C-alpha cells in the first residue's frame, strides 16, 4: 500500500492584524513547509503601525473576498457581527474559512453548518476553544462514539489568570484584570470574560462536537467570577479547595446532558487544580478510559495562532468537520432536571430564600458573609432572581451534579431543621 499526500496550496486572505493576526503572520513566515502565504490582510485602522510590509494591507474586504486566487479566508477580528458577514460571504464564495471567533460560532453554528453543506467548503475553528489545546478535533474524531460521559474545562484564560493572581498572589481584581488585558488574553470588552459569556460560548461549541447538541449560549446557565468575594476564597481555602470558573457538560443516565458554566471548588486531587494563569485545562470523562486531561495555553497570540496553523495544515488535505453526532439524527438534549450541590454565598440573609434549597447541609456566617451549602434543583437555580444579585455568588462542589436525588430522612435532615431555624 502506498500513501500519497495530495496537498492544496493555500493563498490566505487574513481579516484582522491584532495580537493573533500578527502572531500568525510571524509564524507563517517561519513555516515554509506549510506552502501557505498571506496574500492580503484586511484591517480597520490603516493609520496604525504594523510590523509587516504596507503593501499587504487594505481596508477593502472585497479585495479579499472577490479574489479568485485567495482560497482560504482566516477571520481573526473581534467584532462578531462583522465576522458573521465576512464568514458567511466567504463560505458563499466557496472559500474555506478559519475563524477564532467564539461568539460568532456559538451564536450561529446551525447556519454555519448549513453553509458548509450547501457550498461544500470547510469551516474550521480549533482556535475558538482553549486556543492551543486541540479539543474540538479530538471530540470530533476520537470521540466519534458513545463513550463520552462528561467534560469539565477551564476554558477562559483571562478569568483563570485573574483568579490565580487574586487568590494565590493576593493582587487586586482590577490590577489582575489590567494585566490580563495588557498580556492580550482578555476580550476587547473584558466583561465577556468576567461574566462567563466567553466561557459559555466555548461550552456551546464543545456541546455541538461532543454530543451533537445545538444550544444557543443564552440558553445555558452561566455566571462568571464577578460575584466572587474575598470571603469565598477564605471559605474555599478552609475546606482545602481553590475556586475556578468551570464549564461543565455531563451525560446523565437517561442520555440527556447537564450543561452550565459556574465557579467551582476544585480540590488538589482534581487535574484542574494545577491549571493556573492563562492556561486552560479540559478533563474528558470516558466510559472506558476514565479521565483524560488536556492542558495548554488558552489565550494569547502564539497559542491561538498555533491552533489556526493546525487548521491551515488540515485544510491542505481538505479536512472538514463532519458533525457526525448531529448528522446521526438522534442528538442528545440539554436537561435542567437534575440537582446541584452548591455553596451560595451572600451578604444579606433575606437575599436567598431557604426554601430554594431541597436540603441545607451546612451554614456559616463570618464577617458579614453567609455561606450556605445545600442541594438545589437546577431549574430552581435557573429561574431564581436572587442569583443575579451583585453580592450573591454560587460555587459548585466537586462532583456537584447530583442525579436521582431523593431527600433522605437522616441525621443530616435533623441538622437541616436546626439550621433552618437560624437561617429563616
| Sign of the torsion angle spanned by Cα atoms 117, 118, 119, 123 | negative
The site for ligand HSE, by CB under 6 A, has a size of 11
Name the residue among 94, 80, 68 with its Cα closest to residue 15: 80
The residue from 23, 89, 156, 223 that contacts ligand HSE (CB under 6 A) is: 156
Only segment of 65-73, 143-151, 182-190, 361-369 that touches ligand HSE (CB under 6 A)? 182-190
Q: Which of 95, 202, 251, 341 is catalytic?
A: 202
Residue 303 interacting with ligand HSE (CB under 6 A): no
Only segment of 40-48, 55-63, 153-161, 203-211 that touches ligand HSE (CB under 6 A)? 153-161
According to DSSP, residue 140 is labeled I
Q: Which residue has the cell 453526532?
A: 325
Residue 19 interacting with ligand HSE (CB under 6 A): no
Please report, for residues 24, 129, 181, 186, the alpha-carbon distance to residue 159 in angstroms, rounded to integers and kept in the order given.
24, 15, 11, 9
Only segment of 58-66, 105-113, 155-163, 377-385 that touches ligand HSE (CB under 6 A)? 155-163
Residue 202 among the catalytic residues: yes
Contact between 314 and 74 (Cβ < 8 Å): no
Only segment of 63-71, 179-187, 346-354, 410-418 that touches ligand HSE (CB under 6 A)? 179-187
Rounded Cα distance between 317 and 397, Å, is 44
Rounded Cα distance between 380 and 394, Å, is 13
The minimum distance between CB 68 and ligand HSE, in angstroms, equals 32
Nearer to ligand HSE, 157 or 281 (CB): 157
Beta bridge partners of 334: 257
The minimum distance between CB 159 and ligand HSE, in angstroms, equals 7
According to DSSP, residue 225 is labeled S
Nearer to ligand HSE, 106 or 344 (CB): 106
Name the residue among 106, 111, 90 with its Cα closest to residue 14: 90
Residue 97 interacting with ligand HSE (CB under 6 A): no
Rounded Cα distance between 283 and 217, Å, is 21
The residue from 78, 193, 232, 416 that contacts ligand HSE (CB under 6 A) is: 193
Which residues are marked as active site?
202
Please give the residue ranges that form the binding site for ligand HSE (CB under 6 A).
131, 156-158, 185-187, 193, 198, 298-299
Amino acid at each position: 500500500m502506498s500513501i500519497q499526500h495530495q496537498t492544496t496550496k493555500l493563498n490566505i486572505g487574513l481579516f484582522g492584524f491584532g495580537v493573533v493576526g500578527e502572531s500568525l503572520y510571524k509564524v507563517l513566515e517561519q513555516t515554509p513547509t506549510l506552502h501557505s502565504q498571506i496574500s492580503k490582510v484586511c484591517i480597520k485602522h490603516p493609520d496604525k503601525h504594523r510590523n509587516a510590509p504596507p503593501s499587504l494591507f487594505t481596508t477593502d474586504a472585497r479585495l479579499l473576498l472577490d479574489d479568485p486566487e485567495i482560497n482560504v479566508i482566516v477571520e481573526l477580528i473581534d467584532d462578531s457581527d462583522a465576522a458573521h458577514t465576512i464568514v458567511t460571504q466567504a463560505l458563499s464564495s466557496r472559500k474555506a474559512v478559519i475563524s477564532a471567533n467564539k461568539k460568532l460560532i456559538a451564536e450561529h453554528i446551525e447556519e454555519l453548518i448549513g453553509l458548509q453543506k450547501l457550498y461544500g467548503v470547510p469551516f474550521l475553528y480549533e482556535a475558538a476553544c482553549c486556543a492551543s489545546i486541540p479539543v474540538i478535533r479530538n471530540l470530533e474524531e476520537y470521540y466519534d462514539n458513545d463513550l463520552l460521559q462528561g467534560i469539565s474545562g477551564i476554558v477562559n484564560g483571562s478569568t483563570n489568570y485573574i483568579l490565580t493572581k487574586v487568590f494565590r498572589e493576593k493582587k487586586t481584581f482590577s490590577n489582575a484584570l489590567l494585566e490580563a488585558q495588557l498580556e492580550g488574553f482578555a476580550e476587547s470588552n473584558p466583561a465577556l470574560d468576567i461574566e462567563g459569556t466567553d466561557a459559555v460560548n466555548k461550552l456551546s461549541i464543545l456541546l455541538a462536537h461532543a454530543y451533537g447538541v445545538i444550544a444557543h449560549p443564552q440558553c445555558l446557565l452561566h455566571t462568571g467570577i464577578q460575584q466572587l468575594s474575598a470571603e469565598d476564597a477564605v471559605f474555599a481555602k478552609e475546606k482545602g479547595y481553590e475556586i475556578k470558573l468551570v464549564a461543565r457538560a455531563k451525560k446523565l443516565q437517561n442520555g440527556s446532558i447537564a450543561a452550565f458554566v459556574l465557579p467551582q471548588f476544585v480540590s488538589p486531587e482534581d487535574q484542574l487544580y494545577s491549571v493556573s494563569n492563562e492556561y486552560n485545562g479540559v478533563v474528558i470523562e470516558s466510559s472506558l478510559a476514565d479521565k483524560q486531561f488536556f492542558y495548554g495555553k488558552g489565550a494569547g497570540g502564539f497559542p491561538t495562532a498555533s491552533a489556526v496553523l493546525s487548521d491551515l495544515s488540515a485544510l491542505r488535505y481538505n479536512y472538514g468537520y463532519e458533525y457526525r453526532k448531529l448528522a446521526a439524527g438522534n442528538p442528545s438534549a440539554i436537561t435542567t432536571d437534575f440537582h446541584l450541590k452548591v455553596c451560595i454565598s451572600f451578604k444579606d440573609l433575606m437575599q436567598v430564600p431557604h426554601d430554594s434549597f431541597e436540603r441545607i447541609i451546612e451554614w456559616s456566617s463570618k464577617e458579614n458573609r453567609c455561606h450556605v451549602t445545600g442541594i438545589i434543583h437546577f431549574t430552581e437555580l435557573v429561574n431564581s432572581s436572587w442569583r443575579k444579585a451583585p453580592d450573591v455568588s454560587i460555587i459548585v462542589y466537586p462532583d456537584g451534579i447530583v442525579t436521582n436525588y431523593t431527600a433522605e430522612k437522616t441525621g443530616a435532615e435533623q441538622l437541616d431543621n436546626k439550621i433552618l431555624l437560624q437561617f429563616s
